[in-house]
Structure 1
Amino acid sequence: MSLVSTLGLSAGSAYATPSLKSVRDPPAVVLDNGTFIGVHDGVVDRYLGIPFALPPTGDMRFRLPVPNTSYNATYNATDFGMDCPQQNSGQSTVDDVITEEIAIMLGLTRAGPRPSGEDCLTINVWTPSDIQPGANLSVLAWIFGGGFEVGSTADYDGANIVRRSIDLGEPVIYVSMNYRSEASFGFLASKEVKEAGVGNLGLWDQRQALRWIQRYIGAFGGDPTKVTIWGESAGGISVALQMLTNGGDTEGLFRAAVMASGSPIPVGDIANGQTYYDDLVRETNCTAATDTLECLRHVPYNRLKEAVDMTPGLLSPQSLNLAWLPRADGRFLIAPPQQLVLNDSVADVPFITGDCDDEGTIFSITQIQFSTSEQFEDWFINTYMPTVPDEQIDEVLRLYPDDPSQGSPFGTGNFTLFFPRQFKRMAAIQGDLVFQAPRRFFLQQRSGKQNAWAYLDKRFKSVPLVGLFHGSDLQDFYGSDGSGILADYLVNFVNHLDPKNQTGLEWPKYSDISPSLFTLSGQDDSISITPDNFRMDAMGLLTNLSLQFPL
């Protein structure tokens, strides 16, 4: 396999400065017997919307992905493929407005409404222009987030990362993948699903995309032995779970991992989603079917989508206790994720993991009507810990008190503006339960066993109401022009398995003896090393309860 001659490649070097011909002619790459025509800007070539698996439609719905057949034609690879189905729970709230305004303020890419459907398993590749076969560049494989409900590769411009890598003299290839990220299409959960061995399909899709990279990335100038997987939010969680599956055996699919706002989450068995599966069966008139899973496979797409949209979404009262998300299915995850960590079922690869300071604020805005401690306590117990003994609940409530000065956004005193005082309490506990505590638990368990680095992002603390909110660290990686403060560390990690920066602060490895965080603070790009010792008792208790009573 090789890049076709239309790239105007130089025979003398693995990476050539873009020529006039390469700027003028569209780039092309040959995969099997097929030719994919991409687009470039003279610095970066991109090939978009390449199918990596057969469409999971018809009888292939709710089945494991099947590899693509050999390519045998000429393909237009100038635009993203269709998004996978997006859950629409009809919950238009203040959160929608704030999220959009924040995205605009940070300069993050927003793809806007796009075509979506089941025929969505495509992959995208960005390379330095005129890269030659044999260049053997390192590969950064991006997995987007979206609460396992929504998300699109079109929201993220890999050219920013590639351009920055070229500027550093450390060129990399960037790949992004679609996966069945939306609710039941990718994460159907029930005993029927477990028995059929088709749980966590979105994670299987990601695995298949990584196999595609192994087979084809050489044609783009990439080295299949130098793949780093990277994700944020649901994507970061996905990266963690790719590290835990298969007894920790990577099958050579990746050699390093980066998790932004995502760690092994405190979830239990896939049967914990039975009530939502039963709702789908009822709403699609499959109740009388002998095989309800088979019946769901043949429900018309629009009808199934309507039923899915009726289930609780990310902005519903149950918030981060998602209806549809990865769970232990006996196959991809043979046990709850945090138990797999305790069992050392973890890929022995270097990794980076980090969180924003105020992970829980965005997910708490929908509950701003809670003004009393009693309302908060009822919500918290019923949502996250209905089976936890009262004395342990009391200890949680003591460690997360009815005191806005100890809530999130952290470090903002009693200030709540027009929000009720329970908002900051709710934001603190949700951010720790789902993000900060799992991150620290993972690092503590892996300390001394493999190289790991951790960060804490506080750069945009001044954002009203939400502080340094979930997802805001993406700006520090992608930037508006590829110059995010963490981009250099990321590129060096992908190439050298060490997030060094020749001109920046040295980033020490995480150690349980002296656990430290590479901390970003202030919009002036200030960075420092700080101890990972905040809310130790509180997060320790949440971790212990999560191990005993997973979601």
Structure 2
Amino acid sequence: MFVAAVYGGSPAVVLDKGTFTGLTSGSTEAFLGVPFAQPPVGNLRFRAPLPNKPYSGTFNATVFGPACIQQTSGIPNVPNISPAALKIIQGRITSDFGSPLLDDEDCLTINIYKPANATSGSKLPVWIYGGGFEIGSNSMSDGSVIVERSLELGMPVVYVAVNYRLSALGFPMGIETRRAGNGNLGLLDQRQGLRWVQKYITKFGGDPEKVMIWGVSAGAISVTAQMLMNNGDTEGLFRAAFAESGSPIPTSAVENNQGIMDTFVQAAGCGHKSGSPAVFDCLRSVPIKSIRAAMNATPGIFVFTSIILGWNPAADGVTIPAPFQKMVLHSKIADVPLISGDCDDEGTLFSLGNSNLTTSSEFEDYITKLWGTGNRTIVEPLFAAYPEDPAVGCPYATGTVNNITSQFKRMASITGDLVFQAPRRLFFKRIVRTQPVFSYINKRMKSTPVLGAFHGSDVSNFYGPGDMTDYLIRFATMLDPNGGNVNATEIPWPQYTLETKQMLMFLDGDVSLAIGTDTFREEAIEKMMEFSLTHPLP
């Protein structure tokens, strides 16, 4: 599907015996949809990715490759959901994802954006996209914005974006996955993409010894997973990491999410093989149309169960030997400089689908059933740590407004801390004494009704370009966000230590940057860390 005529006057690069023709825009060149692994179709479905075969012939690299098969994240069918929440969900689906992405099972492609005059000394941010491990594509953001800004700063970079498999195809669950040894395929796709970078990136002017991996949301969780995988051995694939709203999340083992796998397998017509590795032989013979329908029969991002996702990285005994947070405490972690931060109001977006909870009793029953496996004693310490008072809820510092139901701000606070703030602090406790760490909190867009400085609200600051872009480029280039010249509107970004806990704050208004401390909700988040370590989510 990539073979085409070479266009006159277009940039070209030779890989093996193949000639790839790309696009030129200003001082940037782009090579899109380059396959980095063999298509994971047929007998390769539900298997670890295989390296691409040597290239030969001519390839049209002027259009994006298809997204990997998407799980439809439609409007939730939740009784008595808040009308305000439903309206926001409809708006987010439209604004964040627009028209459905063109997807295909043959999707393991990579996009490369480079300065037209790049040399082998250029640096390499590698971007991994987010989407709850259910949706998303490497075509969703324009890497040329980053490259153009890097040229203006005199710190040229090459920007690479890797596709990876999603939902059931990328993160199968259940005991059959452990027995087959084929879990976390999406993470393996990412690592194969990084190996491709090592082999070929010099052809695009990049330096394979100066790769930084960067991701947002599920992409940020993936970045930290890459730091944990392989007993912390990077294989020399990257030298720095940037995790934007995501840390090692409190998930458990693949078999603990057996129910979601059973639903998928049954819907795909392979229920008679459930629990056995042979189920994958059956699933490999199922038409992709049926696989897609079966994926869509499982819960999406905005449903009532919220952050208990159907498909996400989990311990499989091979790629991820143990639950993430146990690995954080007891395993080796890649010793690379890290930037990691979150938005102030991470939990609001994920608390819309359960906005039908309108009483304290309903809230506590929900947390007990879904987080405490029915044991109220397990979760009771969280109820006092996250009170019903909307003035202390999320969006924070907004008083009693934005509380679309009496439990919304409470739910948003406890959800955001469980998935974002508590995992980040736990990760920092483990690594800040051994490697450079910088942290931030994004408080911009705080005035967004109901959502505040919501999950993903900082993305536009990176692709603006803006001050976040500049810190990112300096970090990729010099392993220090303050490296080179800091302009008059910026301030030095302090390194995070357990003694000072200083972090950079991105703010609205005339004073757009300030230094704060990572001590907000300290007692509550400490309780959350204790809870998630002993009772991880499925």
Aligned partner letter, 1:308: M
* SS of match in other structure, 2:56: coil
Report whether the alignment pairs 1:513 with 2:499: yes
- Deviation, 1:525, is 6.0
Paired with 1:280 and 1:410, the residues of 2 have a C-alpha distance of 38
Q: Deviations over 1:175-207 (max 9, x none)?
A: 0010002x1010001111111110000000000
1:447 maps to 432
Residue in 1 that maps onto 2:401: 415
Question: Where do residues 183-202 of structure 1 align in structure 2 (5 Å cutoff)?
Answer: 183-202=167-186
* Residue 156 (structure 1) aligns with: 141
Residue 180 of structure 1 aligns with which residue? 165
Q: 3-state DSSP class of the match of 1:139?
A: strand
Q: Which residue of 2 aligns with 1:214?
A: 198
TM score, norm. by length of structure 2: 0.93
The answer (yes or no) to whether the contact 1:179–1:205 under 8 Å persists in 2 is yes
Distance 1:340 1:387 in 2: 26
Residue 324 of structure 2 corresponds to residue 342 of structure 1? no
SS at match of 2:130: coil
Q: Is the 8 A contact 1:261 1:435 kept in 2?
A: yes
- Alignment map for 1:20-419 (pairs within 5 Å): 25-91=9-75, 93-99=86-92, 112-132=99-119, 135-181=120-166, 183-289=167-273, 291-386=278-373, 388=375, 390=377, 392-416=378-402, 419=404
- The Cα offsets for residues 131-183 of structure 1, whole Å up to 9 and x where unpaired, read as 24xx32110100000000000111100001000000000000000010002x1
Q: Which position in structure 1 is the counterpart of 2:481?
A: 499
- Displacement of 1:377 in angstroms is 1.1
Query: 1:534: which partner in 2?
Result: 520
* CA–CA separation in structure 2 for the residues paired with 1:488 and 1:89: 33
Aligned residue for 1:13? none
> What 5-or-longer segments of structure 2 have no aligned partner?
1-5, 77-85
Deviation at residue 231 of structure 1 after TM alignment: 0.2
**Counterpart amino acid of residue 285 in structure 1:** G
Show the counterpart of 1:3. none
Distance across 2 between alignment mates of 1:311 and 1:524: 45
> Whole-Å Cα distance in 2 between the matches of residues 64 and 294 of structure 1?
15
Amino acid corresponding to residue 473 of structure 2 in structure 1: V
The structure-2 alpha-carbon separation of the partners of 1:389 and 1:345, relative to structure 1 and needing over 3 Å to count, comes to farther
Cα distance, 1:386 vs. partner?
1.6
**In the alignment, what sits opposite 1:106?**
none
| Contact 2:306/2:354 (<8 A) preserved | no
Q: Determine if contact 1:284/1:304 at 8 Å carries over to the other structure.
A: yes
**Separation in structure 1 between the aligned mates of residue 388 and residue 95 of structure 2, nearest angstrom:** 28
- Residue matched to 1:14: none
8 A Cα contact 2:367 2:379, kept in partner: no
**Distance in structure 2 (CA, Å) of the matches to 1:345 and 1:95:** 41
Partner AA of 1:262 in structure 2: G
**What is the CA distance between 1:527 and its match in structure 2?**
0.5
Of the structure 1 ranges 143-152 and 443-452, higher mean CA displacement relative to structure 2 is found in 443-452
Report the 3-state secondary structure (helix = DSSP H, G, I; strand = E; otherwise coil) of the residue aligned with 1:366: coil
Q: Kindly indicate whether the alpha-carbon contact (under 8 Å) linking 2:442 and 2:458 is maintained by their aligned counterparts in 1.
A: yes
Quick one: structure 1 residues 213 and 444, their matched pair in 2 at CA, closer, same or farther if it must change by over 3 Å? Answer: same
Q: CA deviation at 1:288?
A: 2.6
Q: Distance in 1 between matches of 2:335 and 2:114?
A: 28
Displacement of 1:91 in angstroms is: 2.5
One-letter identity of the residue aligned with 2:56: N
Deviation at 1:96, TM superposition (A): 3.2
Q: Deviations over 1:461-520 (max 9, x none)?
A: 0111100000011112111xxx22211111000010001152220101110011011001
C-alpha distance in structure 2 between counterparts of 1:61 and 1:407, whole Å: 44
Aligned to 1:371, the other structure's residue is in SS state coil
Displacement of 1:389 after TM fit?
5.2
User: What secondary structure sits across from 1:68 in the alignment?
Assistant: coil
The letter for the 2-side match of 1:46 is A
Equivalent position of 1:487 in the other structure: 469
Give runs of aligned pairs for residues 430-469 of structure 1, distance below 5 A: 430-469=415-454
Gaps of 5+ in 1: 1-5, 8-23, 104-109
Superposed displacement of residue 455, structure 1: 0.3
C-alpha separation between the residues in 2 aligned to 1:281 and 1:522?
47
Counterpart Cα distance in 2 of 1:388 and 1:487? 45
* Counterpart code for 1:423: F
CA contact (8 A) 2:368 2:376 kept: no
Cα distance in 2 between the residues matched to 1:275 and 1:369:
24
Structure 2 Cα separation of the partners of residues 89 and 142 of structure 1: 23
**TM-score, normalised on structure 1?**
0.91
For residues 212 and 468 of structure 1, the distance between their equivalents in structure 2, rounded to whole angstroms, comes to 36
How far apart in 2 are the matches of 1:313 and 1:64? 24
Measured after TM superposition, the shift of residue 311 of structure 1 is 0.6
Structure 1: distance between partners of 2:511 and 2:70: 35
| Number of the residue aligned with 2:83 | none
Identity of aligned residues (%): 46
Would the aligned equivalents of 1:50 and 1:123 in 2 still touch at CA under 8 Å?
Answer: yes
Q: Do 2:15 and 2:55's aligned partners in 1 also have CA atoms closer than 8 Å?
A: yes
531 and 374 in structure 1: CA distance in 2 versus 1, 3 angstrom threshold: same
Q: Is the 8 A contact 1:89 1:311 kept in 2?
A: no
Question: Are the aligned partners of 1:94 and 1:365 in contact in 2 as well (CA < 8 Å)?
Answer: no
Q: CA deviation at 1:285?
A: 2.5
Displacement, 1:101? 7.2
Contact 2:267 2:297 in 1 (8 A): no
Residue matched to 2:79: none
Give me the whole-angstrom Cα distance separating, in 2, the residues matched to 1:523 and 1:264: 32
Secondary structure, aligned partner of 1:519: strand
Q: 1:387 to 1:374 in 2, by over 3 A?
A: closer
Deviates more, 1:345-354 or 1:499-508: 499-508
> By how many angstroms is 1:307 displaced?
1.1
3-state SS of paired residue (2:272):
coil
Contact 1:370 1:376 in 2 (8 A): yes
Aligned to 2:80: none
CA contact (8 A) 1:237 1:262 kept: yes
Question: How far, CA to CA, are the matches of 1:338 and 1:377 in structure 2?
Answer: 25
Aligned residues: 516
Instruction: Give, in angstroms, the shift of residue 550 of structure 1.
Output: 1.0
Decide whether aligned partners of structure 1 residues 316 and 366 sit closer, same or farther in structure 2, where only a CA change above 3 A counts.
same
User: What is the deviation of 1:102?
Assistant: 6.3
The match for 1:474 is 459
Distance 1:388 1:263, change over 3 A: farther
**Distance across 2 between alignment mates of 1:524 and 1:321:** 39
d(CA) in 2 for partners of 1:118 and 1:300?
Answer: 11
User: Contact 1:89/1:313 (CA < 8 Å) preserved in 2?
Assistant: yes
